[in-house]
Structure 1
């Protein structure tokens, strides 16, 4: 049976193409949604871009007929801008305040009540990314659901970058004898991705084990080519950190993604690897470090001073790690060191759009706060001879319209996992301190 889907504003601001995602059903956009989109279209950010895109799309669809009467969509469904079901009278008994959210709910409720009077009523579904709107819809007796089409993967199924496989001890012995294994010798029911790591453990329960990496064509398992020696005073403290360094220091892998909770060492390991490649090996001309300017909590507003002074509060986590690596003793020492080197640049992502960045080691911190469009814009800036590393924790998102399953970092991890130019590792064990690990696990 065909359904009626009433869309909240946040669905369209998250995905302007959402109107085409409901197959042969009827899509209803309350008139108040158009007003909310109009209020966002002057924003100079991702929401503004999406608001302008949906405005252009609606204007193009308007040429096919009157939107308030309904027009056909290529999927076989229809689209309608609703004007005749906006009465607030039935909703006032439960939610008296005439907020925009309540007016959108009123449209869905009026549709629902009208359908119930028909011999074969169609289900009416309220679609919103706002949890409280879905709860309110449920209170009113309406079916409500999140917009799931933009989800890249369910978090439990997210690519980890490594596998633990139980194997017969003879297989492990074969690896140590010949220094490689064919993937086919593991008799797996699924393929392994290029540069994926494998921890082989003895199925008999002994301590025998091996750490291997899938080669670029995905057919062989090879030993890690790096020793476990520290770089810039930083050494791997667990297996996942060693895997991360293997990817970070491999010049044949131009795009690396690292995810993990706070304190797992993502930023510190990446900075150490970047400094080694830029300062010691001179493989890259410059180390470029950037992060999105997305506040956690209330924004602190405009900041005084030159660009560097304005950026310092946002970039402080980067400076903290650099001070640790350079072992500075006094306040202000790190600025003098960076000025003297000239090969390390700390930027906000605001200033990356439109650039071409060849021959550089690029670190994008807090990439989980980027949308799919923003991450595409950034990765497409990478020039010849550059390496880009994307870091973040998909569980710690401050962006109002993103979640763990729909952010740009998760998008890159899932889309690039089968490519032989990329590598990914999920860091799980916190190494900052015992307290930090407990906080990440318990809070």
Structure 2
């Protein structure tokens, strides 16, 4: 290859500059840019040093990244380009220069702010490599906008993102003018061989509303058995479904062949309530019921900084789960025997309600594990939870992908969306999106009109 061709090939390779938010989202991000080079400002290492202590997922990501770079660098100086892996086409280095000669972010936006210093590192790298495209990669929208204002290319970290949240798999389909004979057979026999039927989803476990004029039936398509099964609108622990969607959710949650369930929907659709009710319905089949949710910390401080003992620290975060349990308990008003059983389940910790960080490292064997507010998890966190599942365990993720409290996550990059998109064709998985609010007419008014 000629010298000119080599020079052209080198200039076609991009340089991606990663900020702290990307590393805290995915510590392995540096290995996901194919043949292109990756740089990290020295300031990012300083920020990661502040995150390395603690039990939050961000702390794990920070520690893992530091170990990754330490292991890969060995005898290399990290302020010079080097290969992170023997077979990697792209190279890595830490950028020390924060003083670009042309445009200076600190002079424009203010001195001392970490974001502006990271911008300066990227701008200095751009000046060093005038023939190469330098791109800042960040989960921080404002930082990306500032970069673009300074004539610096910027983009979101795309690994783990789905293409379009509005087109996300819903797990259900309504079919009009369906065969009357099949509808009748389903009602009479309970199931029908679907191998010769034309259905839109045959590569996933899927729910159907089948209609023909005044006749209708709700059914579940089993990917493995390749049949349609009639869904009886049964209750779970005295909680009755109020619509077809909720019947679908209860069916998936009670199905012993489905080990992984996700329920996505607006507030008031019954996600957490149905998951908790079905867990209690199957309490004899599992060693324990875990109900957990991620705690979104303020700044870089976890709940350990809050006053009081462990219970006092977590109760405000766990209140919605306790509210659902209280509602279920109210369904047995007057049944002293059942009320005693529910209280005993809590007292003996057969039901355990705790933040996700408190359950980290626990063995998930023969456990009905509910992860509420799963939209506040990263794809890596969701993967980690599922990978810890032992035998005879069922895991349920519930959440609303449009109501995210975690910085740097959105409807397309959160763990719940990632799970729905990537697990939809697995035979052990079922998903249902709940759209109809059942909390109250007043709550529906807010969802529909405001």
Shorter-normalised TM range: 0.7 to 0.9
Q: Please report how far the alpha carbon of residue 229 of structure 1 lies from its aligned counterpart in structure 2 after TM superposition.
A: 4.2
1:172–1:210 contact (8 Å) kept in structure 2 = no
* Residue-pair matches, total: 426
Distance 2:439 2:101 in 1: 54
Matched, 1:323 2:336: no
SS, match of residue 202 in structure 2: coil
Indicate how the Cα distance of structure 1 residues 312 and 95 shifts in structure 2: closer, same or farther if over 3 A, else same.
closer
The match for 1:46 among 53, 57, 77 is: 57
Q: Which runs of 5+ in 1 are unaligned?
A: none
Indicate how the Cα distance of structure 1 residues 387 and 7 shifts in structure 2: closer, same or farther if over 3 A, else same.
closer
Q: Please report how far the alpha carbon of residue 27 of structure 1 lies from its aligned counterpart in structure 2 after TM superposition.
A: 1.7
1:15–1:150 contact (8 Å) kept in structure 2 = no
- Worse overlay, 71-80 or 129-138: 71-80
Q: Please report how far the alpha carbon of residue 36 of structure 1 lies from its aligned counterpart in structure 2 after TM superposition.
A: 1.5
Q: Deviations over 1:265-324 (max 9, x none)?
A: 01112222222222xxx3334433222233589988745554334332222111211222
The 5 A counterparts of 1:227-306 are 227-278=232-283, 282-294=284-296, 302-306=305-309
2:100–2:127 contact (8 Å) kept in structure 1 = no
SS, match of residue 72 in structure 1: coil
The 5 A counterparts of 1:101-112 are 101-112=115-126
The 5 A counterparts of 1:84-95 are 84=97, 86-87=99-100, 90-91=103-104, 92-95=106-109
2:204–2:424 contact (8 Å) kept in structure 1 = yes
Q: Please report how far the alpha carbon of residue 182 of structure 1 lies from its aligned counterpart in structure 2 after TM superposition.
A: 4.3
Distance 1:411 1:345 in 2: 27
Q: Deviations over 1:10-58 (max 9, x none)?
A: 1122112211222222222222222222222223321121111111221
Indicate how the Cα distance of structure 1 residues 313 and 63 shifts in structure 2: closer, same or farther if over 3 A, else same.
same
Indicate how the Cα distance of structure 1 residues 255 and 139 shifts in structure 2: closer, same or farther if over 3 A, else same.
same
Q: Deviations over 1:231-278 (max 9, x none)?
A: 443211111101001112222323222111110001112222222222
In the other structure, the counterpart of 1:340 is: 344
The 5 A counterparts of 1:65-84 are 65-73=76-84, 74-84=87-97
Indicate how the Cα distance of structure 1 residues 84 and 287 shifts in structure 2: closer, same or farther if over 3 A, else same.
closer
Matched, 1:7 2:7: no
- Worse overlay, 21-30 or 84-93: 84-93
SS, match of residue 433 in structure 2: strand
- Worse overlay, 50-59 or 296-305: 296-305
Matched, 1:147 2:157: yes
Q: Please report how far the alpha carbon of residue 441 of structure 1 lies from its aligned counterpart in structure 2 after TM superposition.
A: 4.7
1:367–1:409 contact (8 Å) kept in structure 2 = yes
The match for 1:413 among 420, 437, 449 is: 420
In the other structure, the counterpart of 1:97 is: 111
Q: Please report how far the alpha carbon of residue 437 of structure 1 lies from its aligned counterpart in structure 2 after TM superposition.
A: 2.6
Distance 1:158 1:368 in 2: 14
**TM-score (norm: length of structure 1):** 0.85
Indicate how the Cα distance of structure 1 residues 15 and 288 shifts in structure 2: closer, same or farther if over 3 A, else same.
closer
Q: Deviations over 1:322-362 (max 9, x none)?
A: 22221299xxxx99875434443322323322322444433
1:288–1:344 contact (8 Å) kept in structure 2 = yes
In the other structure, the counterpart of 1:157 is: 167
SS, match of residue 144 in structure 1: strand
Indicate how the Cα distance of structure 1 residues 149 and 368 shifts in structure 2: closer, same or farther if over 3 A, else same.
same
Indicate how the Cα distance of structure 1 residues 60 and 289 shifts in structure 2: closer, same or farther if over 3 A, else same.
closer
Indicate how the Cα distance of structure 1 residues 172 and 398 shifts in structure 2: closer, same or farther if over 3 A, else same.
same
Q: Deviations over 1:370-407 (max 9, x none)?
A: 33343344334444333332211122222224333333
SS, match of residue 53 in structure 1: helix
Indicate how the Cα distance of structure 1 residues 372 and 58 shifts in structure 2: closer, same or farther if over 3 A, else same.
same
Indicate how the Cα distance of structure 1 residues 169 and 339 shifts in structure 2: closer, same or farther if over 3 A, else same.
closer
The match for 2:35 among 14, 24, 32 is: 24
Distance 1:183 1:90 in 2: 65
Indicate how the Cα distance of structure 1 residues 104 and 40 shifts in structure 2: closer, same or farther if over 3 A, else same.
same
- Worse overlay, 8-17 or 130-139: 8-17
- Worse overlay, 171-180 or 135-144: 171-180
Distance 1:435 1:68 in 2: 60
